[in-house]
Amino acid sequence: MFLDFNFASIPHIIFGAGRLNELYELIPKFGNNVIYVIGGSSLKKSRKWDEIVYAMKKKNVNFSEISVTGEPTPTLVDDAVKNFRNQKIDLVVGIGGGSVIDAGKAISAMLPKIDSVRNYLEGVGSKTHDGVKIPYIAVPTTSGTGSEATKNAVITEVGNEGFKKSLRHDNLIPNYAIIDPQLVVSCPKSVTASCGMDAFTQLLEAYVSPKANPITDALTINGIKRIKDALVSVYREKSSDIAVRSAMAYGSLISGIVLANAGLGIVHGFASSIGGLFNIPHGVVCGTLLAESTKMNIKRLEQLGTKGENGLLKHAIVGALLNGKESFEDINISLHCSILVEILENWTKQLNIDLLGKYGITTTDIDNIIERTRLKNNPVHLMREDLNEILLNRI
Ligand SMILES: [Fe+2]
């Protein structure tokens, strides 16, 4: 078979329990003036912030902090940048969940610019970012979005004219990603569950994407192997188990690398449209729609005949993998596709993933959502009625 693909660079990855400490050795390589982008309060409550402040003072680093609550908006990014544009900044460090990592990424990208981030958002502005940025180190405290390894920052404005769009350039991949599973131990249960489902969704959607390539496939299978047994147990009884937290953090990291190279499908198409219209966590949209969307994709792939064979095989391989199979030679495609859907439905129940209705979404919103939903790199074309059915079953 003739191979033809791109694979973008990845951050310098520092992975392991306790390795946040290496941040303090890295900072002097970039300079002495640092902006920390952090979340609302959880980092400070965990006392990690005190350790960071102590280390910064000990090393005579000049640092400022920007607190981010909720998903980054254009106004948040613009205001943050305005306050620092005339200062010499050598490095931006984002420590937090996906929203914080994205906010830090956008701030590092917009510090060298003179106008609003809105102008550079895909589908919103008319400009393309040139990749010139202040160096950026991403330190995730949740295991979900994989943003520590991606080249885009998702910026959200919620409302009738709202959007959830990306600032994107290959050079926006963080310079370093420090993944310390100890930082994730204090992550609340519901966030652990929805972020875990987001990470799995990203792995599955990248694996079945028409843009998948041998490298993303190999990484994805490896990522799924790591998180398949950790996903439910980290939520139920092993939230403090560093080995299980490490497995989830690894799966999340890999999901970011593969999504940056293979793209995503309909679940993230919905996450984009629904996230622009309603205040709902990204992981909840993904988690709640994953099983239904997968069921629909399989149904439509089955109707394609030979054209759908590869997509079905890939779904079946994931089903077999989740079911404990190590070899896929004699795989029963129909059976393992069904097993995949069944396991995803079970995970959705076991992890208590909310229905969309909990966030104020009703059947009257479905048309508006579908109007704004793009299929992205879905493995099969879905019709309006298919999207309607997926949503209707999770309202
Ligand atoms: Fe996601």
Q: What is the pLDDT of residues 264-301, one digit of tens each?
A: 999 999 999 999 999 999 999 999 999 999 999 999 99
CA of 307 to the centre of ligand 1 (A): 27
Q: Work out the end-to-end distance of the chain between its first and last CA atoms, rounded to an integer number of angstroms.
A: 43
DSSP string covering 175-206: SEEEE-GGGGTTS-HHHHHHHHHHHHHHHHHH
* pLDDT tens column, 318-357: 999 999 998 888 899 999 999 999 999 999 999 999 999 9
CB atoms near residue 219 (< 10 Å): 22
Compute the average pLDDT of residues 110-128: 97
CA of 99 to the centre of ligand 1 (A): 11
For residue 74, give every residue at least 6 positions away whose Cβ sits within 8 Å of its Cβ, in sequence order, or none. Answer: 116, 117, 118, 121, 155, 157
CA of 126 to the centre of ligand 1 (A): 25
CA of 258 to the centre of ligand 1 (A): 12
Whether the predicted pLDDT of 68 surpasses 80: yes
CA of 326 to the centre of ligand 1 (A): 27
Q: Which pLDDT belongs to residue 46?
A: 75
CA of 262 to the centre of ligand 1 (A): 13
Residue scoring higher pLDDT (1 or 192): 192
CA of 330 to the centre of ligand 1 (A): 32
CA of 86 to the centre of ligand 1 (A): 34
CA of 77 to the centre of ligand 1 (A): 21
CA of 380 to the centre of ligand 1 (A): 19
State the Cα–Cα distance between residues 374 and 370, nearest whole angstrom: 8
CA torsion sign, 96 to 97 to 102 to 103?
Answer: negative
Whether the predicted pLDDT of 1 surpasses 70: no
CA of 71 to the centre of ligand 1 (A): 13
